[in-house]
Amino acid sequence: MDFPSPLERGVLVSRYKRFFADVVLDDGREITAHCPNPGAMLGLNTPGLPAWVSRSDNPKRKLAHTLELVEADGGLVGINTMHPNRLVAEALAADAIPELTGYATHRREVRYGVNSRVDFLLEAPDRARCWLEVKNCHLRRAGTLAEFPDCVAARSLKHLWELTAMVEAGERAVMLFVIQRSDCDAFAACHDLDPAYAAGLTEAAAAGVEVLVRACEITTVAVRIADRVPWAGSPG
């Protein structure tokens, strides 16, 4: 996924009210950017971090700039939670995720469960449908371990229940975590920040929901789905 225009570099001043970020650009301009991330952004919202923003020329937007990347722990981290679905759509079209190849169609935002929409429904005439949920992950607190979630994620837990129901109905269900950073080589559910989700992920996997984790290659020009990352609950 290429960024639509060259990113502008600056320094993060403050992230507040979840969806706003004040940034001082390298040319001295002070801007307020849209912060497309409802999570806690632990370790990624510290004032003074280098930050990169995109700019839109859409006159209907209230804020022209969007916070896309911050630099933390010596590397770039994607904070835009809208990107993982775009990255996965691109990877599915290119057959870049081996575990998810062989499907004729990839439909997005299909209704399922109780008032839910699955991120992707993969279909082919010769196999069971595959219900695919995608989650953004960018929390790293120790070593090279990526963790999800970074705050209580009740809606994400509901998605695990919906996926489990699909497995019980005889279909395939996959939970895919996209790590928007390149300095992690392991993944685990975050027990201390959301014990209910951590337990739910273990239970869903035991019920047959497949858990996949992918890292990303990130530059200020593009973000790409990269190698598979093992997770702590994996049976093998």
pLDDT, tens digit, 9 for 90 and up, residues 173-184: 999 999 999 999
List C-alpha distances in Å: 121 to 83, 109, 168: 18, 8, 16
pLDDT for 87 equals: 97
Where do runs of H (alpha helix) occur along the chain? 83-93, 154-168, 195-206
- Among all chains, which residue has been given the structure tokens 């685990």? 188
Q: What domains sit in the chain, N to C, each tagged with a CATH number?
A: 8-78 (2.40.50.580), 83-228 (3.40.1350.60)
Rounded-to-integer distance, Cα 165 and Cα 159, Å: 10
pLDDT for 10 equals: 98
pLDDT for 189 equals: 96
User: Phi then psi for 196, rounded to 5 degrees?
Assistant: -65, -40
- Among all chains, which residue has been given the structure tokens 């896309």? 68
Q: Which amino acid is at 58?
A: N
pTM, 2 dp: 0.95
pLDDT for 236 equals: 42
DSSP label at 9?
A: E
Residues of the chain with pLDDT under 70: 234-236
Burial classification of residue 213, based on how many CB atoms lie within 10 Å of its CB (0-12 exposed, 13-18 middle, 19 or more buried): buried
* Total residue length of the chain: 236
